């Protein structure tokens, strides 16, 4: 598992299309037609929860965006779980994470590409509603796993060469109601020994039923 900020989490005590929400309305008018859009259709069991639409920023994070879109185009994210949800009241970071598993506590989904170079010394920050890449402790280790910043998590931004942070590469432009539904799922302690004590594993995890690119102007 891409161990998003294990040391920080331990220190923190954590280790169809839906109707637009008020938060969606804040961003809909500012879409950049030169930036690609990616859609995640979220479901759980027979329930369809709706879509999250991400606007990606290849000008600021070209390697990261190209890597993410390669997985989208290959349908790699289809069927992958939201396997970590860290949104407990008072948590020092608030995220949900996915992109690597089709079964809880199982092996990573086959088909991952080689790790990519970390792109964090950019203007992109881990603001509320941004999508970023999860990775292992070493900087250039991100593959397919991503996380969504449910709130601003600036402690995940680039600080220095010793604290290079986590690469943001896009933002939510639609689907905050789905994000909020993911944030409310029941969770339990994550069984990974590296995450001992972290209450973040969904008991009944939602998943990405389908991920695909969306052209501007399409529904």
- Indicate the range of 3-17, 49-63, 200-214 predicted with least confidence: 3-17
pLDDT average, residue stretch 59-72: 98
C-alpha–C-alpha distance, residues 8 and 17, integer Å: 35
164-184 pLDDT tens trace: 999 999 999 999 999 999 999
Residue 146: exposure state from Cβ atoms within 10 A (0-12, 13-18, ≥19): buried
Q: Percent of the chain scored above 70 by pLDDT?
A: 86
pTM of the predicted protein model: 0.88
26-40 pLDDT tens trace: 555 578 888 999 999
- Segments making up each domain of the chain, as ranges: 6-214
CA torsion angle for 131, 82, 162, 116 (degrees, to 10)?
-70
Q: Give domain 6-214's CATH architecture.
A: Beta Barrel (2.40)
């Amino acid at each position: 598992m891409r161990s998003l900020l294990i040391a920080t989490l331990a220190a923190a005590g954590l280790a169809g299309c839906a109707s637009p929400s008020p938060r969606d309305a804040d961003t809909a008018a500012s879409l950049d037609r030169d930036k690609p859009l990616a859609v995640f259709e979220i479901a759980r069991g027979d329930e369809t929860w709706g879509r999250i639409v991400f606007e990606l920023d290849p000008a600021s994070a070209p390697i990261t965006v190209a890597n993410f879109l390669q997985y989208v185009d290959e349908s790699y994210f289809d069927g992958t779980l939201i396997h970590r949800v860290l949104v407990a009241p008072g948590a020092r970071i608030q995220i949900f994470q996915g992109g690597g598993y089709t079964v809880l506590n199982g092996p990573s989904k086959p088909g991952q590409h080689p790790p990519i170079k970390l792109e964090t010394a950019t203007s992109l920050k881990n603001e509320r509603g941004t999508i970023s890449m999860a990775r292992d402790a070493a900087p250039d280790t991100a593959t397919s796993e991503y996380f969504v910043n449910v709130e601003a998590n600036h402690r995940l931004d680039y600080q220095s060469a010793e604290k290079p942070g986590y690469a943001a590469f896009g933002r939510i432009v639609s689907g905050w109601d789905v994000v909020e539904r993911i944030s409310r799922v029941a969770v339990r302690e994550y069984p990974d020994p590296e995450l001992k004590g972290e209450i973040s594993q969904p008991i009944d995890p939602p998943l990405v039923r389908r991920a695909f690119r969306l052209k501007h102007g399409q529904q």
